A and B are shown apart, each in its own frame.
Chain A
């Protein structure tokens, strides 16, 4: 159990366009989802915490207007990279966890590799 699905797995877009990434919890409800960004050969950096029915909480240094997060239901969060530029090219990974106590791990989607040309 505890499967997180992320779509698309990869996307190439032109500079100036927007890209939407979807994250779904398939077999559990997630009031909170997390978006991470990973540069090549580096660690995962938390970008924001997505809260169902309310505004996302962004980490310091993450532009809210650049990375729009919507968490409209208990099973779906979306990240939209607006007016993408080549420096936004990265690996984006979403995650969520069932509410089974603090020891239950985050389950991750398979990630989205974004390339902005």
Chain B
């Protein structure tokens, strides 16, 4: 079964500290991709970072990096130097190809609160 799991419903982090948001996945596909999105209270979905299953290096985008451990099927998001504006919901998502159709499924999300 194709599944994305985020086990942390909520996280706190002190401003300027780093935080890791966990994500594990389950798929039998060899080719897949993992995305992280941020959803502020306003509701829009903001793309943060992508990791392909064949990518050998961990993805990085500014303060965001993805700790990809393929054997463990985990794709944790690391946010460095947290800012107050990072407070939001964060969703891990997995891109699948089902019957040649592109599909993106989401985990349950982690609410991050950055403390001043």
Contacts and interface: CB of A to CB of B under 8 A. Distances in A.
Interface of A: 32, 34, 42-46, 49, 57, 91, 93, 95, 97, 102-103, 105-111, 113
A66 B99 CA distance: 25
Interface in B18-48: 31, 33, 35, 37, 42-45, 47
A103 B50 contact: yes
Interface residues of A, dominant DSSP: strand
B52 A103 contact: yes
Given A46-B103, A102-B95, A103-B50, A108 B44 contact: yes
Contacts of A103: 33, 50, 52
B101 interface: yes
B50 A46 contact: no
A106 B91 CA distance: 13
A93 B104 CA distance: 13
Contacts, number: 53
Contact of A111 (B44, B97, B104, B106): B44
A113 B43 contact: yes
A49 to B, nearest CB: 6
Contact of A97 (B45, B102, B106): B102
Nearest to A108: B45
8 contacts: A32-B101, A32-B102, A42-B108, A46-B104, A95-B45, A102-B33, A102-B97, A106-B35
A43 B109 contact: yes
B97 to A, nearest CB: 8
Contacts of A91: 43
Nearest to B104: A106
A110 B107 CA distance: 19
A102 B52 contact: yes
B84 interface: no
B20 to A, nearest CB: 20
Residue among A49, A105, A109, A110 with the highest chain B CB neighbour number at 10 A: A105
A105 B50 contact: yes
Contacts of B37: 108
